[in-house]
Amino acid sequence: MDIDQTLLQNLTETNPRFRMLYEEHCLFEKQLSEYDKKSYLSPEEELEMNKVKKMKLVGKDEMEKIIHSVTA
Protein backbone atom coordinates (compact mmCIF):
# COMPACT_ATOMS: atom_id res chain seq x y z
CA MET A 1 0.00 0.00 0.00
CA ASP A 2 1.56 3.29 -1.12
CA ILE A 3 0.58 5.99 1.32
CA ASP A 4 2.26 9.11 2.60
CA GLN A 5 3.95 8.20 5.88
CA THR A 6 2.72 11.40 7.55
CA LEU A 7 -0.88 10.58 6.62
CA LEU A 8 -0.40 6.99 7.77
CA GLN A 9 0.96 8.12 11.14
CA ASN A 10 -1.81 10.69 11.54
CA LEU A 11 -4.54 8.16 10.79
CA THR A 12 -3.10 5.50 13.09
CA GLU A 13 -2.93 8.05 15.90
CA THR A 14 -6.35 9.65 15.41
CA ASN A 15 -8.57 6.96 13.89
CA PRO A 16 -9.01 3.84 16.06
CA ARG A 17 -10.69 1.89 13.24
CA PHE A 18 -7.85 2.66 10.83
CA ARG A 19 -5.26 1.73 13.47
CA MET A 20 -6.95 -1.64 14.06
CA LEU A 21 -7.17 -2.31 10.32
CA TYR A 22 -3.52 -1.35 9.83
CA GLU A 23 -2.39 -3.61 12.68
CA GLU A 24 -4.42 -6.50 11.24
CA HIS A 25 -2.94 -5.81 7.81
CA CYS A 26 0.59 -6.07 9.24
CA LEU A 27 -0.32 -9.27 11.08
CA PHE A 28 -1.76 -10.79 7.89
CA GLU A 29 1.41 -9.81 6.00
CA LYS A 30 3.47 -11.63 8.61
CA GLN A 31 1.25 -14.73 8.42
CA LEU A 32 1.44 -14.80 4.62
CA SER A 33 5.22 -14.48 4.66
CA GLU A 34 5.35 -17.52 6.96
CA TYR A 35 3.29 -19.51 4.46
CA ASP A 36 5.58 -18.33 1.65
CA LYS A 37 8.60 -19.75 3.48
CA LYS A 38 7.15 -23.25 3.36
CA SER A 39 7.90 -25.45 0.38
CA TYR A 40 4.65 -27.37 0.83
CA LEU A 41 1.30 -26.38 2.30
CA SER A 42 -1.23 -28.88 3.55
CA PRO A 43 -4.79 -28.49 2.27
CA GLU A 44 -5.72 -26.89 5.61
CA GLU A 45 -2.84 -24.44 5.32
CA GLU A 46 -3.88 -23.61 1.75
CA LEU A 47 -7.40 -22.83 2.96
CA GLU A 48 -6.10 -20.74 5.84
CA MET A 49 -3.72 -18.85 3.56
CA ASN A 50 -6.55 -18.04 1.15
CA LYS A 51 -8.72 -16.90 4.07
CA VAL A 52 -5.94 -14.62 5.32
CA LYS A 53 -5.49 -13.17 1.81
CA LYS A 54 -9.20 -12.38 1.60
CA MET A 55 -9.29 -10.78 5.06
CA LYS A 56 -6.21 -8.73 4.20
CA LEU A 57 -7.85 -7.51 0.99
CA VAL A 58 -11.09 -6.58 2.76
CA GLY A 59 -9.14 -4.63 5.36
CA LYS A 60 -7.04 -2.90 2.71
CA ASP A 61 -10.19 -1.85 0.86
CA GLU A 62 -11.62 -0.37 4.05
CA MET A 63 -8.38 1.45 4.83
CA GLU A 64 -8.38 2.91 1.32
CA LYS A 65 -11.95 4.15 1.83
CA ILE A 66 -10.89 5.86 5.05
CA ILE A 67 -7.89 7.42 3.32
CA HIS A 68 -10.06 8.59 0.44
CA SER A 69 -12.59 10.15 2.82
CA VAL A 70 -9.80 12.07 4.57
CA THR A 71 -8.00 13.23 1.42
CA ALA A 72 -11.05 14.00 -0.72
* Residue ranges for the chain with pLDDT beneath 50: none
Nearest to 25 by CA among 1, 5, 9, 42: 1
State pLDDT tens for residues 55-69.
Answer: 999 999 999 999 999
| Residue ranges in the chain assigned as alpha helix (H) | 5-14, 16-37, 43-71
Sign of CA dihedral 53, 54, 60, 63: negative
Interatomic CA distance for residues 32 and 49, integer angstroms = 7
39: number of Cβ within 10 Å: 4
